[in-house]
Structure 1
Amino acid sequence: MMIYKILRAGEWAALRLDGETAGAPVDVADGFVHFSTAGQVAQTAAKHFAGEEGLMLLGVEAERLGDALKWEPSRGGALFPHLYGRLRLKDVAWAQPLPLQDGAHVFPPGLE
């Protein structure tokens, strides 16, 4: 199953440089890396990244993260994937820009 992480340009650059990351400041503060499912990622972008340009959308195969990935209730009681460990660049299946058009992020087909 593919899960998704949104990173700002500087966070993406740091992951590429270092090969791993503890995530964005909110991830570090919470003690885990926040991910979203296909059905959650657009709402995550709207809630936490509204109007932000220069974002990257990362796809990660959940199975690659092993036991460090936990499914926990969050927004509205829905289960969200949380990584209790560092996100490694080698675990990122793909990354692509998440453009902003008319004030909304444009997601690949199937993630709208």
Structure 2
Amino acid sequence: MSDLPTTAYKVLTADQMAALERDGRFAGAAIDLQDGYIHMSTAAQLTETVDKHFAGQSDLHVVAVDLGSFGASLKWEESRGGQLFPHLYGPLLLETVIAYAPMSRGEDGIIRLPVTG
């Protein structure tokens, strides 16, 4: 599985982003807590995730996460359309975040990724 991305993305509301910055950790949104893991997406999956799960919402943030930090608490599991998605079985820690920014779209409608390193 070495061809899997080393960075994933989590969409947070402004309140969730503020809590991550304040507390240094994010336990998950309601759907994450219900499912027992934090849902994340690869760069290629992010726009579809936003369109499907965050349609009509504003004041969102995109957080880039270093997947190498999680070890066994990160699992790649089949989900939407048979694609493998990164699922984090534990809190998202601020120290694993490599970049974040308010969510925006390019002229092509694709979600812009936060600039890393």
TM-score normalized by structure 1? Answer: 0.88
Q: After the TM superposition, which segments of 4 or more aligned residues of structure 1 sit over 4 Å from their partners?
A: none
Gaps of 5+ in 1: none
Structure 1 residues 48-87: aligned runs within 5 Å: 48-87=53-92
CA distance in structure 1 between the aligned counterparts of 2:21 and 2:69, rounded to whole angstroms: 18
**Residue 43 of structure 2 contacts residue 113 of structure 2 at CA under 8 Å; is this kept in 1?**
no
**Residue 12 of structure 2 contacts residue 60 of structure 2 at CA under 8 Å; is this kept in 1?**
yes
TM-score normalized by structure 2? Answer: 0.84
Aligned residues, how many? 108
**1:93 match:** 98
**1:37 match:** 42
1:46-71 CA distances to partner (integer Å, 9 max, x unpaired)?
A: 00011211000000111112110000
- Cα RMSD of the aligned pairs, angstroms, is 1.9
Gaps of 5+ in 2: 1-5
**Residue 33 of structure 1 contacts residue 84 of structure 1 at CA under 8 Å; is this kept in 2?**
yes
Task: Select the structure that is richer in strand.
Answer: 1
CA distance in structure 2 between the aligned counterparts of 1:39 and 1:84, rounded to whole angstroms: 22
**Residue 51 of structure 1 contacts residue 100 of structure 1 at CA under 8 Å; is this kept in 2?**
no
User: Identical aligned pairs, as a percentage?
Assistant: 45
Secondary structure class of the residue paired with 1:39: helix
